[in-house]
Structure 1
Amino acid sequence: MIVETLCAVLALVLGGVLKGATGAGAPIIAVPIIAMLYDVPLAVAILAVPSLLSNVWQAWSYRRDRPPPAFVAAFAGAGAAGAIAGTIMLANLPSETLLLTVAGAVFAYIAFRLLRPDWVLSIALGQRLAAPAGFLGGVLQGASGVSAPVSITFLNAMKLERPAFIGTITLFFVAMSMVQIPMLVAYGFMSATTVLLGLGALGVIVASMPLGTYLAQHVSREAFDRTILVLLALIALRLVATSLG
């Protein structure tokens, strides 16, 4: 139990470092590790509260930097709808399938980062794809707690300026969390204990973010990205082994 707890805390620290360095992405590391140690529903439930609280203030702070309201509303609104569908999947799929879903989401993220690092999506096409991308990202978030393969990749491809990116992705996370949390409660995945664990997780993530900010300023982006991708690949392989074992 002590080893598992320490590993979970380390996962949150790494997630906080990633969020501090990039402005997003804590669940991409924390959820797979916690899911591997315990199970996917618990990992999703624990990270739901930190996701909501850590993104509310950023969404408000960057509210003036967002792209056109129609684009943001379509992306975030579809994400909320997708989170409903994904949470239903979370409640009904076998644990092995959920583990493979998380692993698949992580592998998809790694593959896209490696194969199409310079892919650019035009603003006009991005606006047309906002709702489909948001919905698919929401489904992944609800079912696996990891929307990054779609959400972050989609916004990165549009080459948004950092303030616009943060203002959009944080509102997307807030919209999903606001529908996901009540559903997690209704399905029995979230209790008072889970909320307390989530608040503790939030504290670890926030405390670790300055380290990520420091690393972003003193370590090359390429070296940092390679390290994260290798770590994610190892985590995903372990998830596959766990689900098949």
Structure 2
Amino acid sequence: MIDLSDPLLLVAVAATFLVAGIVKGVTGMGLPTVAMGGLGGLLSPLAAAALLIIPSFVTNVWQLLAGPSIMSIVRRLWPMMAGVVLGTFAGSSLLKDGGAVLGTFMLGLALAVYAVYTLLARPFQVRPQCERWLSPLVGGVTGLVAGATGVFVIPAVPYVQALGLRRDDLVQALGLSFTVSTVALAAALGSRGVFEMDTLLLSAAAIAPALLGMWMGQYIRRRVSPAAFKRCFLIALALLGLEMMLRGVL
């Protein structure tokens, strides 16, 4: 699936995870999204999704453990997490069997929708009485998108942001969602016999540039406006998604 003897590919993978780590360091999210977008031009969506598993897991666990409210967040969001797991297993068959052209188109669509929505949508609030039925629904849709494309931000991120959590709890809740999504995607792909030793080795090696990028991103966050950085990032992500969609149909 992946040729470890290709030095250009190795450099490209390292650079992709470095940039993805920077984005996550500045904004608190975006590593899998950037990694899937960057690697989508080099590898099939299936190979790219397999590569992001280990660095995504490590960085998201770091984010999850960086706060005091783990248990209260788990108690509140477990229906959503259950939906994520079920949806990911259901959607992973499309990532494995859908073909490179369809996979590239769907990945581009997911990236573009997330970017445009985040740029243009107005903030909204989820009423507490709606969480009981909305959380598992959002989790299931997020899982389906993650299983089919390797991107697990839609609609999880807008939903969690609409729950009215404090800033630290929001970061930790996103860490929980991303961690569960990563583990579910790894289990779903593993159950379908996707992983190979070369893929796992390269995925493990990608931890170093991802963590370096996060450190650089945290440094940048103290010196530039996170809002301006995020706006530029989302515009670039939307253009990348559009390019991938066109590549998938032309």
Q: TM-score, normalization: structure 1?
A: 0.90
CA displacement at 1:37 relative to structure 2: 1.1
Higher helix proportion (structure 1 or 2)? 1
Report the Cα distance in structure 2 between the residues aligned to 1:54 and 1:110, rounded to whole angstroms: 22
What amino acid is the match of 1:187? R
Unaligned residue ranges in structure 1 (runs of 5+): none
Match of 2:219 among 214, 218, 231: 214
Contact 2:113-2:238 within 8 A present in 1 as well: no
Relative distance call for 1:182 and 1:14 in structure 2 (3 A) is same
Unaligned residue ranges in structure 2 (runs of 5+): 1-5
1:146 equivalent in structure 2? 151
2:93 equivalent in structure 1? 88
1:228 equivalent in structure 2? 233
Aligned residues: percent identity?
23
Contact 1:86-1:140 within 8 A present in 2 as well: yes
Report the Cα distance in structure 2 between the residues aligned to 1:4 and 1:151, rounded to whole angstroms: 31
Contact 1:79-1:137 within 8 A present in 2 as well: yes
1:28 paired with 2:33, answer yes
Instruction: Tell me how many residue pairs correspond in the alignment.
Output: 245
1:74 equivalent in structure 2? 79
1:53 equivalent in structure 2? 58
CA displacement at 1:102 relative to structure 2: 0.8
2:108 equivalent in structure 1? 103
- 1:72-131: CA deviations, max 9, x gaps? 111111111111112122122121111111111111112211221433333443453111
Report the Cα distance in structure 1 between the residues aligned to 2:132 and 2:27, rounded to whole angstroms: 23
1:240 equivalent in structure 2? 245
CA displacement at 1:70 relative to structure 2: 3.8
Report the Cα distance in structure 2 between the residues aligned to 1:134 and 1:220, rounded to whole angstroms: 31
RMSD: 2.1
Displaced runs of 4+ in structure 1, greater than 6 A?
Answer: none
Report the Cα distance in structure 2 between the residues aligned to 1:46 and 1:195, rounded to whole angstroms: 7
What amino acid is the match of 2:191? A
CA displacement at 1:6 relative to structure 2: 3.3
Contact 1:87-1:142 within 8 A present in 2 as well: yes
Match of 2:208 among 203, 207, 211: 203
Relative distance call for 1:95 and 1:24 in structure 2 (3 A) is same
CA displacement at 1:192 relative to structure 2: 1.6
Contact 1:66-1:72 within 8 A present in 2 as well: no
Report the Cα distance in structure 1 between the residues aligned to 2:169 and 2:229, rounded to whole angstroms: 22
CA displacement at 1:2 relative to structure 2: 4.5
Report the Cα distance in structure 2 between the residues aligned to 1:172 and 1:63, rounded to whole angstroms: 16
Match of 1:157 among 153, 162, 172: 162
Contact 2:112-2:239 within 8 A present in 1 as well: no
- 1:132-163: CA deviations, max 9, x gaps? 11111111111111111211121122242232
Relative distance call for 1:66 and 1:190 in structure 2 (3 A) is same
Report the Cα distance in structure 2 between the residues aligned to 1:244 and 1:132, rounded to whole angstroms: 30
Mean alpha-carbon deviation: is it higher for 145-154 or for 166-175? 166-175
Report the Cα distance in structure 2 between the residues aligned to 1:71 and 1:124, rounded to whole angstroms: 13
CA displacement at 1:67 relative to structure 2: 4.7
Relative distance call for 1:139 and 1:18 in structure 2 (3 A) is same
